Amino acid sequence: MPIPIIGELFAKGFSAVPHGWTILKSLPWLVLVYLLKIYFGGARNTSERNMHSKVVVMTGGTSGIGAAVAKELATRGAQLVLLTQHPLSDPFLVDYIMDLRTATNNELITAEHVDLSSLHSIRVFATKWVDNAPPRRLDMIILCANTMTPSGGNATATEDGLEDTWGLNYVANFHLLSILSPALRAQPPDRDVRIIFGTCASYMGGNIPGSPSSTSKADTSKSKPKAKAKQTPDSSEAFTPSSAYANSKFALMTFASAFQKHLDAYKRPDKQPMNARVVMVDPGWTRTPGMRRYMTLGSLWGLMMYLVMWPLWWLLLKSSEQGAQTFLYAAMEAEFGRGVGGRFLKEVREVKVMRKDIEDEVVQKKLWEATEKTVQALEKEGAIRRAKEKKEEKKPTETSKEGPNVGPRVQDVTNETEKKSTATPSSSTRRTRKA
């Protein structure tokens, strides 16, 4: 069949092929689109590593880049512990875990309820992990959870009153790793332990102008019911989503560099060198749910425009699988299991950090101490609030049934009512039971 067609093509030219000239003219453009797609798709991870028996704790592992990373690591045999805000009985989470187990042929995938917007929730999980004796195995922590307020949006707040972007992107990770630090340092010296931070190029425009515990002047008209958004990186500036996001990523990278120094300063009882290493990863612009929310401005009109321009976004933005490649490189490349930590990766290769103040020990110390004070103050406030709520739930009500909780005043009123009543004995008995 192909030979007669080729012969006809040589004998009569492209005019003999239906739509031949149209196809020929379109071919260069198709090739161009293909090459652009390869270019914008970024580099691919070529490192191979057997992940069997490796215990990996992940945030953000149920959607976007985190889901792609989780699937690839599970396919290679890693034991995953996904930290998720969903209740463990949530049908979505149950189906997601079961589907992931089936797709990867890996039953060692579990989830823990950890709401990153709640410092108390983080402490409950991390403390339970650290208090285990003997110390639980922990080979890797991957921090993929991320949030960004759409452009033009108002500031919202976490359960503890932190501005969402600052609280979720930075403070939650600080709090989690601060508590899990003993578990990381307790790992045997022959174990390759990695802490992988997800960051973004926007860190270059970020700064830490004031204490992260300062009071916000941001508009909180759309805040969550219990949120007050009173904690932001800087109270002297009006809230803008882009600056808040850049500040959170700058602070996260500063903390990541400081955390590596914190680990290196630990003197192991066995006199062996520290085997835990920090790696920072910039996955690039990716078509994640968070990116879609940001680009659509969180509105239906924005979503409609996003769908209309879908071919452009498909060409320019990476898929979740493409965005996961640098994370996988950080998790699998043997080079990052030895030598110095605190490396920064982008497009599956090591690059230099553009902001030198990220590695400044004075900046790191100031940020660490300020964040630590903020967390301590907020945890204390949260403990007091929960104690009050628990106390209010136990308060007796006037409508309580007769028993140990019925006060003397209610009993006296009931007795007086019974004496003055002209009702039948049976009615009196019913009222007594009701009281």
* Residue 112 Cα distances to 9, 81, 157, 185, 275, angstroms: 64, 7, 23, 22, 26
- Angle (CA) 366-178-346 rounded to 5° is 80
Crossing angle, helix 119-130 and helix 361-393, to 10 degrees?
100
Beta carbons of 111 and 97 less than 8 angstroms apart: yes
Closest CA to 142 of 85, 98, 81: 81
**Catalytic-role residue among 249, 388, 394, 434:** 249
- Cα four-point dihedral sign 212, 213, 219, 221: positive
- What lies within 8 Å, CB to CB, of 335 at 6+ separation is none
**Nearest by Cα to 60 from 122, 140, 115, 123:** 115
Compute φ and ψ for 268, nearest 5 degrees: -70, 145
Beta partners for 231?
A: 162
249 is catalytic: yes
**CB 126 within 8 Å of CB 171:** no
CB-based contact 84:113 (threshold 8 Å): yes
For the chain, the C-alpha Rg in angstroms (whole number) is 29
CA distance 226 to 276: 38
A 10 A CB-CB count for 99 gives 11
For residues 141 and 81, give the distance between their C-alpha atoms in angstroms, rounded to a whole number.
10
Give the integer Cα–Cα distance in Å for 326 and 334: 14
Cβ atoms 65, 198 nearer than 8 A: yes
d(CA 130, CA 143): 18
Residues annotated as catalytic (active site), given as ranges? 249
